[in-house]
Amino acid sequence: MRPTVSSEDLMRFLDGELPPEEIARVEDALERSTELQREFRIFQALRDDVSGLSYDPPAHTSVWDGVQRRLTRPLGWILFVSGAILWMAYGGWVFATSAANPVEKLAVGALTIGFFILLGATVSERLREWRTDPYRDIQR
């Protein structure tokens, strides 16, 4: 016959989360049932094994990580942004000096300016969120 103590009750008993009247009921059931005692010992062994575990991420960082962070990334961003600005300036100059209809130029200009305003707003919002994000330094 199976005692009326569940596995959840045993785990709560083991963790010290039961009220006093429940503790007496579980202790009484443990004294009467060898099957419940075996299950309780399994839970104790499992708790002891899990409590001994720890996660200590490696603190070793390479010298090249610092080089990339301080030199490579900023240099890449500088080259990318300057190249993009030069291409946009050249494209704007070609567009402005073309023989296209002025209404078409205004429509394309409004579309382009609207796109860059939305892009800038989105990037600035993400940067603001990134600065206060508590999970930004978590490594997978």
Structure confidence at residue 109 as a pLDDT band (50, 70, 90): confident
pTM for this entry: 0.40
Whether 22 is covered by a domain: the verdict is: yes
Residues in the chain: 140
Domain shared by 112 and 131, yes or no: yes
Select from 90, 88, 94, 78 the least CA-distant residue to 119.
88
Domain shared by 27 and 46, yes or no: yes
Select from 2, 83, 70, 71 the least CA-distant residue to 39.
2
Domain shared by 103 and 68, yes or no: no
Helices (H), 52-139: 63-67, 73-96, 102-132
**Each residue of 70-79: pLDDT tens digit?**
888 889 999 9
Boundaries of domain holding 133: 99-140
Residues 36 and 10 sit within 8 Å (Cβ to Cβ): yes
Please count the structural domains in the chain.
3
Structure confidence at residue 2 as a pLDDT band (50, 70, 90): very low
Whether 37 is covered by a domain: the verdict is: yes
User: At residue 11, what is the residue type?
Assistant: M
Whether 81 is covered by a domain: the verdict is: yes
Domain shared by 115 and 128, yes or no: yes
Residue 24 has pLDDT above 80, yes or no: yes
Domain shared by 91 and 103, yes or no: no
